[in-house]
Amino acid sequence: MIYLDHAATSWPKPPEVMEAMRRFLECAGGNPGRSGHRLSIEAGRIVFAAREALAHFFGLDNPLRLIFTPNVTYALNTVINGYLRPGDHVVTTGMEHNAVMRPLRALEAKGLQLTIVPCAPDGTLSANDVVRALRDDTRLVIVNHASNVTGTILPVGEIGALAHEAGVPLLVDAAQTAGVLPIDMEAMHIDLLAFTGHKGLQGPPGTGGLLIGYGFDAGQIEPLVRGGTGSRSELELQPEMLPDCFESGTPNGVGIAGLGAGLAFVQKRGVEAIRAHELELTRRLVEGLRAIPGVTVYGPEDLELRTATVSFTAKGMRVSEIGFRLDEEYEILCRVGLHCAPAAHRTIGTYPEGTVRLAPGLYTTLAEIDETLAAVEKVVAR
């Protein structure tokens, strides 16, 4: 079997991740922050260690400004629904995932004003186009760091710098880039960073987070959920301190333990080395697909402007048929369709059919890419 669906979730997980989760359940299965006994204290230590490591990984010295969430969608919704109000103006792009578009559209129906900056057919975008869309009443800019459809990397640092000059905060969706591309919130002028743990960070599903930069007042965000936090239990009002005000209910301790181990694995490999490996895979994949008659590859020509996510279509064939035959006949696992990002597919001209998405990852080999190319050629030829 060849697994090429890392843009959905990385697999297999490093053995260290599964071992950390097993060890947590066996040796530290208490409820972190909820009791004073040894199991609770040990669970709390593991959660805080992961919080501290992740904050530093993204360029923040204060780990309390990292909020653990079940996934990146929850983190994005925390900001979008907790910070924006009817009448506010928001700027986003034509390559966004539904994790951004659906909550924005729901708020638009209640009076939010939304500007969607068009991207080029390859998914690229000029930072100046974003700035030109800003208004005096713009409250937030939301940008996808890299597309989950074409892998197109947007100029987040430039957008952040220009948005800050205009006094507008920047929220970045790093679902596709956390653990794959270097991210430094301060250097890239990112105020709010939403990430998921189960993709490039090699952690388990059910993990993610929101990082709140030093220049952003977290008190402007209303919590999505209120309840027990293990702190200030004498009050029936939600505590205001970070991260407690955004972390109600029992945390996913075992998942966070796995996420911490996944991050350690990534750091041991090195983000630069991971990026170099994925660029090599992407180059082989893109060049090979372009050489197959009838195949159209989407995304930037310059491979430095894309992650290892590659979408294609074949003339005269439905993407569902291609995906089915790759799976059934060649045991190559990919994803077809709209990838929860209809806006991106409208931008690249593949709506409503979508594309076949091949997304290699950390464990993918060049030999597997070659085998995949041979299989695609046979499927398309028939």
Q: Which helix (H) or strand (E) holds 42?
A: helix 38-57
Q: Which residues of 348-382 are buried (b: 16+ CB within 10 A; e: fewer)?
A: bebeeebbbbbbbbbebeeebbeebbebbbebbee
CB 207 within 8 A of CB 70: yes
Distance CA 264, CA 135 (A): 42
Report residue 166 as tokens. 């205009």
Please state at what angle helix 253-269 crosses helix 38-57, rounded to 10 degrees.
40
Tell me how many degrees the CA angle 290-178-376 measures, rounded to the nearest 5.
Answer: 25
Closest CA to 373 of 254, 291, 278, 268: 291
Q: Which helix (H) or strand (E) holds 325?
A: helix 319-330
Q: Which residues of 55-81 are buried (b: 16+ CB within 10 A; e: fewer)?
A: bebbbbeebbbbbbbbbbbbbbbbbbb
Closest CA to 369 of 302, 301, 305, 277: 277
* Location of structure tokens 């027990």: 228
- The one-letter amino acid code at 158 reads E
CB 141 within 8 A of CB 317: no
CB 289 within 8 A of CB 376: yes
For the chain, the residue count is 382
CB 68 within 8 A of CB 48: no
Report residue 129 as tokens. 């186009």
Distance CA 295, CA 377 (A): 9
Instruction: Give me the phi and psi of 328, to 5 degrees please.
Output: -70, -40
Active site residue 340: yes
Which of these is catalytic: 27, 119, 245, 340? 340
What residues are labeled active site? 340
